[in-house]
Amino acid sequence: MLQENKLLVSAFVDAINAQDWSRVLALVASDFARHSTAAGEPGVRSAEDLVAFLKAEFATFPDATETLLDLVAEGNKVAARHQFHGTQLGPMGLFPPSGKVLNASYIAIYRIENQRIAEAWAEWDNLAGLKQLGYANEA
């Protein structure tokens, strides 16, 4: 079961990279929840919210891709270290398009239930990302 859970997370990332929203919806629970405090964005509380969140991310970073660097599974959870790469060509909240590339690692933990991703926790270094995009100064 651990290997199947890791394959599910891998398929999820592949579907996101392909912007295959019907596949994303097939891989997550209808009441999927995503938790993150890194950027203060509103929470994701359904599969449809997730797709809207991801579409908005692609509007900001049209060439975005994610790579899985590590996957570790235990019980019904999979921990993943992701690498995000994308050029900010759209607005990001109050920040206008910078045209700069964001290359950031982040950690996510996924909870699997009934062969679907039911919940995710994702955190990253938001300040480092803002520095890459030119919105924060180096200390």
**What does the pLDDT read at residue 40?**
67
pLDDT (tens digit per residue) in 80-121 = 999 999 999 999 989 999 999 999 999 999 999 999 999 999
19 Ramachandran zone, left/alpha/beta (phi>0; psi -120 to 50): left
In whole angstroms, give the CA distance from residue 58 to residue 95.
15
Contact 64, 13 (CB under 8 A): no
Residue 74 pairs in a beta bridge with 77
pLDDT band at residue 37, thresholds of 50, 70 and 90? confident
Flag whether pLDDT at 43 surpasses 60. yes
pLDDT band at residue 42, thresholds of 50, 70 and 90? low
Q: What is the percentage of the chain residues whose pLDDT exceeds 90?
A: 89
All structural domains of the chain, each given as residue ranges with its CATH number in brackets, are 2-132 (3.10.450.50)
Average pLDDT of the segment spanning 22-36: 96
Q: Sign of the C-alpha dihedral, residues 98, 103, 108, 113?
A: positive
| Torsion, CA 48, CA 63, CA 86, CA 79, rounded to 10 | 50
pLDDT band at residue 39, thresholds of 50, 70 and 90? low
Contact 57, 73 (CB under 8 A): no
Task: State the average pLDDT for the chain.
Answer: 95
Residue-wise over 4-28: b if at least 16 C-beta within 10 A, else e? ebbebbeebbebbeeeebeebbebb
Q: What is the percentage of the chain residues whose pLDDT exceeds 70?
A: 96
In whole angstroms, give the CA distance from residue 8 to residue 78.
9
pLDDT (tens digit per residue) in 66-79 = 999 999 999 999 99
Weakest-pLDDT range from 29-33, 34-38, 118-122: 34-38
